[in-house]
Structure 1
Amino acid sequence: MNGSDDAEWQVEVFYDGECPLCLREIKLLRWLDRKQRIRFTDISDPSFCPADLGKTMQEFMDEIQGRLPDGTWILGVEVFRRLYSAVGLRPLVALTRLPGLSQGLDLGYRFFAKNRLRWTGRCNAGTCQVMRRREPDAPVAPPADSP
């Protein structure tokens, strides 16, 4: 589940390994992470237990989550900033903090997060409930504002 347990990691990313769009980003990050500064945790892995982290599966499905070595949780675009900083792209990350661009990225990510299940063909019968492989009785409810 974790790609760099022994290394001095700077950020842990909790990603949906069943999301093709998410996996494309993770593959790029794994390739760029030559110094193993990122810990990768696949929330679709049957052994993943969100309760062990004090969170629900719904929280992990609604928005990308990250965790710093001191235990601080980060969400959304900030996770990507930390990931890309960890692989040496700090100048690019600095641009994402500029007024206007920062707000635009936040809006764009929220739009993506709200629609990613639909866009990747993971909605069933008009709903975007995703079933956990390990817990077939426990669907992940759609976000409150989804149709």
Structure 2
Amino acid sequence: MKRVTVWHDGTCPLCQREIAMRRRLDKRGAITFVDVAGGGTCPVSRAEMLARFHAREDGGPLLSGAAAFAAMWRAVPALRPLGEMARNRLILSGLKRLYLGFLRVRPRLQRWLARREART
């Protein structure tokens, strides 16, 4: 079984939802989640870790962005086909473009979710 370490921003409402969903899907416990904002150890600077999503498969190289999501998907049987497809450089290239687009709107989504959660 492949093991994946995922670093995330535990203060980000988007990240909290994403990680909660992955924890529910990770029935085998293949993913170790590290909350960077909560003081978890980082393989690179904390600022860099908080700016983008990071993961590492089985002690391999540190991955970021779309490649990190693909690594996390490969650890979850239900999502493994998506992660395997992302090994194709054309597919990964498209996912990278989507991720960069997401990073541009992420601050607005975070503010919107924070306001929404504050009302409930």
Aligning the two structures, in what range does the TM-score lie when normalised by the shorter sequence? Answer: 0.7 to 0.9
Unmatched tracts of structure 1, length 5 or more: 1-7, 123-147
Partner Cα separation in structure 2 for residue 106 and residue 36 of structure 1: 27
| 1:85-124 to 2 correspondences below 5 Å | 85-88=74-77, 89-98=79-88, 100-121=90-111
1:91 Cα offset (Å): 1.8
- SS of residue in 1 equivalent to 2:58: coil
Structure of larger gyration radius: 1
Which of 21, 27, 34 does residue 20 from structure 2 map onto? 27
| 1:45-64 to 2 correspondences below 5 Å | 45=38, 47-50=39-42, 53=43, 55-64=44-53
Alignment RMSD, CA only? 2.3
Unmatched tracts of structure 2, length 5 or more: 113-120
- SS of residue in 2 equivalent to 1:119: helix
TM-score, with structure 1 as normaliser: 0.64
Partner Cα separation in structure 2 for residue 22 and residue 109 of structure 1: 14
1:99 Cα offset (Å): 5.8
1:44 Cα offset (Å): 1.3
1:61 Cα offset (Å): 1.8
Residues 95-142 of structure 1: CA deviation (Å, up to 9, x unaligned): 3345654322101111222432233129xxxxxxxxxxxxxxxxxxxx
- For the 8 Å contact 2:9–2:35, the answer to whether it is kept is yes
Partner Cα separation in structure 2 for residue 117 and residue 57 of structure 1: 18
Which amino acid in 2 is paired with 1:90? R
TM-score, with structure 2 as normaliser: 0.77
- For the 8 Å contact 1:10–1:68, the answer to whether it is kept is yes
Which amino acid in 2 is paired with 1:72? P
Structure-2 residue corresponding to 1:70: 59
Bigger helix fraction: 2
Structure-1 residue corresponding to 2:117: none
| 1:120-139 to 2 correspondences below 5 Å | 120-121=110-111
Structure-2 residue corresponding to 1:39: 32
